[in-house]
Structure 1
């Protein structure tokens, strides 16, 4: 895997199809409701049409992709839970016992669990094995991964979307699992947006005040060790790839690849919380059209999440005070996305219903 591959992928991602969006707007304005009265649902319906290049966009299978990986920065005491929980939770996903499994079942979606870099060997027929390495290196002492590893993880995400799309999947939610990954997400946020650790670091798994101080310190040291000055903001595709390799995680890179794959295969991706959204930010810096293919599911309790959502220009659908991760918020939002599509395809027009339209 090399930079030329990434360049080809990013250049293949096109803007949304304006003709389909215009048709969606015209259809929405003809339906039995005041224009614009469904608010964000109407904007979502337009965008979904532009993604698919069809009005209404096709419905099909839907999945929740949960990418998992471990982090060397856990050595710095940044989490309230031991690193072994990553492996244990992956097994929980595979057995159907996690919150994301419950919410995915409600949405009629399958859960696809991907090992991007868990620091354990997991043998399970339901696991997608894409392990780059058994966890990243400690980013406070140097790069979390090599450039080649980052590219391989991005490729795994893009290829996964291709396989899912080929299997008839038309809607993907994406989440993550990885003890220590909110620290990596905060470092990515600070590096790409130029915000200090105080603005990017939250309590994650529920660390106390001392743990929060350790997380902030770890992010500051990681940025310094890797030449990514907080407050400056890494720019452009090269800055994004450099940031991902130096302070990201294998599951973050995989999610960034899924976001790129959304644009390549024209499949909407519903992004979960802070970690997933930080990965989406990387993808949007790699290719400027990517954000148009992404749907923000919710706004989490992590303080940096709102900062990243604003940078991406994404409007979250839910605000429930959640901070679990796993893809839970994204899974909860799948029915809302489908409802936006159903409005286009199933709701009556003024003409078909025999309802008087707006007075001129």
Structure 2
């Protein structure tokens, strides 16, 4: 597994960026989070006035928990989604073209076979993952291989001169994995992350259901 040394944000550049933003002809903090993003970019790039950045998009495809309950689709919706990328018919690609941002789509674990999609990078590590309520989702070796693939793409995009990369996911049941991972890393309760819906189980019922298989 690789190790990294991530330098702190460049404080002088952030301070200079903040000073410039506050002295523009506008009310203080009227652009809200956009101002904080600009300030953070200044710190990352050590440039008080970062502009003309080079953008890119990386979409990773993998079906999650495909042997779990409610797996009625068997990845067919995921295949349809990645095929739209292959055919260049997505809103993501439309927006990226306006920014002259290349879009990279890589399949590392969809349940359906995608070898017929010639515009998709084929890097399959495993076809779908196990349901974590029954057994480990993937093996440790598969996890490390997945992380290494991410590092490889980061290196590739960096060498291509990209400075800002939007990341995305195609895959069945990815939101459940994301929810459990987010709660585990942040220490937040599921009740605080889940949102209310007009129909179906309540937040408390859904949280209890997740606890029923995650806690084991």
**Which residue among 72, 75, 78 is the counterpart of 1:83?**
75
1:219 is matched with which residue?
A: 210
- Please give the root-mean-square deviation of Cα atoms over the aligned residues, in Å: 3.2
Contact 1:78 1:180 survives alignment (8 Å) = no
What SS is found at the alignment partner of 1:115? strand
Aligned length: 215
What SS is found at the alignment partner of 2:52? coil
CA shift for structure 1 position 49:
0.7
**Which residue among 69, 91, 101 is the counterpart of 1:99?**
91
- 1:38–1:181 Cα change, 3 Å: closer
1:253 is matched with which residue?
A: none
What SS is found at the alignment partner of 1:187? helix
- Give the distance between the partners of 1:125 and 1:110, measured in 2 at CA: 16
1:111 is matched with which residue?
A: 103
CA shift for structure 1 position 214:
9.4
| TM norm structure 1 | 0.52
- 1:195–1:35 Cα change, 3 Å: closer
**Which residue among 170, 182, 201 is the counterpart of 1:177?**
170
Contact 1:74 1:83 survives alignment (8 Å) = no
- Per mean C-alpha deviation after superposition, the further-off stretch among 130-139 and 173-182 is 130-139
2:43 is matched with which residue?
A: 50
2:181 is matched with which residue?
A: 188
- Give the distance between the partners of 1:136 and 1:218, measured in 2 at CA: 20
- Give the distance between the partners of 1:120 and 1:148, measured in 2 at CA: 22
| TM norm structure 2 | 0.81
Deviations 1:120-161 (A, max 9, x none): 332233222332211111211021112232222222222212
What SS is found at the alignment partner of 2:104? strand
Deviations 1:75-130 (A, max 9, x none): 31178x55221122111112122332333344443321111211233223322233
* Residue segments in structure 1 that go unaligned for 5+ positions in a row: 226-360
